[in-house]
């Protein structure tokens, strides 16, 4: 196929583009910088600024605005960015889209959420804004004939917040920010991105960034639908956070005093993804995935 990748130079996009090229697709990526264009060309792809210029058969939507932890801007990208991307795709005659969503926006429950679980539309602010932006993204993507929504788990691995030297690593170490006369710590700055590193009962699901990219490639051949792209082991922070700390050589986290699980902190089930052709996680569990950080 001719594939247009929006977000081609992000954490997923940087791994996705070479995989698409290796699979024989003709890949074009959207970029706003000369450096991004050079990166794409080095990976065997072309760089453009508009969907129409690529004349694609399919669009892969991996746009985010999370490099600096700006959640408000990321919500705007989900709502307005997706709207513009889908409108451009429709004008260009695109009939297939694969779009990035997340797996922790489900309504509260006691077991890992499947794809039939509704989104948490009754959430209170500020969570309500995040859920609403995802609803807008997924509804816009559904306007394309064949639409596959990938509800990813928390990304970990190179280029993500959950990596050696990343924000979670810094938060666990509690290091002072270099050259900051106010004495603000890297822990405070990192916690603004990933939250306080407390080993409580909140359950989440992970996916290695390489497995996230591989799922987007496979999804070009999947039927319309929503699919959780997570590893095999949803887990509470009291299990995975000490393992992450050990993997990166950071101090172990403090245990939570009261457990601290919200109803929506339930993880997600990947049964459907494992039934789809072309995808099995290379890192079936964070337990082994963290050791490769």
E strands present in the chain: 2-6, 26-30, 46-48, 58-61, 96-102, 146-152, 154-156, 198-199, 203-204, 206-208, 225-229, 235-236, 254-255
pLDDT at 178 over 50: no
> 59-73, 169-183, 190-204, 273-287: which range is least confident on average?
169-183
pLDDT at 176 over 90: no
Average pLDDT (109-133) is 97
pLDDT value for 189: 67
Confidence at 179, pLDDT banded by 50, 70, 90 = very low
> 68-72, 208-212, 276-280, 288-292: which range is least confident on average?
68-72
Cβ-contact 144, 90 below 8 angstroms: yes
Confidence at 169, pLDDT banded by 50, 70, 90 = very high
Measured between alpha carbons, how far is 27 from 68 in angstroms, rounded to an integer?
Answer: 27
Confidence at 257, pLDDT banded by 50, 70, 90 = confident
């Amino acid at each position: 196929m001719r594939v247009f990748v929006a977000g081609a130079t992000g954490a997923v996009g940087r791994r996705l583009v070479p995989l698409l090229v290796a699979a024989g697709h003709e890949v074009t990526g959207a970029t706003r910088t000369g450096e991004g264009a050079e990166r794409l060309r080095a990976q065997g792809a072309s760089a453009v600024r508009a969907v129409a210029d690529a004349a694609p058969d399919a669009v892969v939507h991996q746009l985010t605005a999370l490099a600096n932890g700006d959640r408000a801007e990321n919500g705007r990208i989900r709502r307005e960015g997706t709207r513009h991307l889908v409108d451009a795709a429709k004008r260009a005659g695109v009939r297939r889209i694969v779009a990035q969503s997340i797996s922790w926006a489900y309504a509260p429950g006691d077991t890992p959420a499947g794809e039939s679980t509704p989104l948490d539309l009754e959430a209170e602010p500020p969570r309500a804004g995040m859920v609403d932006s995802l609803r807008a993204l997924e509804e816009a993507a559904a306007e394309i004939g064949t639409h596959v929504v990938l509800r990813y788990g928390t990304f970990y691995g190179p280029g993500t917040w959950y990596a050696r030297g990343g924000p979670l690593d810094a938060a666990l170490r509690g290091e002072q920010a270099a050259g900051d006369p106010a004495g603000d710590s890297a822990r405070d700055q990192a916690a603004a991105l990933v939250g306080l590193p407390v080993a409580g009962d909140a359950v989440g699901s992970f996916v290695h960034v390489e497995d996230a990219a591989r799922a987007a490639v496979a999804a070009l051949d999947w039927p319309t639908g929503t699919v959780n792209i997570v590893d095999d082991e949803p887990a509470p922070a009291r299990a995975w956070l000490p393992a992450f700390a050990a993997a990166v050589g950071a101090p172990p986290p403090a245990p939570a005093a009261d457990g601290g699980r919200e109803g929506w902190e339930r993880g997600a089930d990947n049964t459907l993804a494992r039934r789809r052709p072309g995808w099995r996680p290379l890192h079936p569990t964070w337990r082994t995935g963290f050791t490769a950080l």
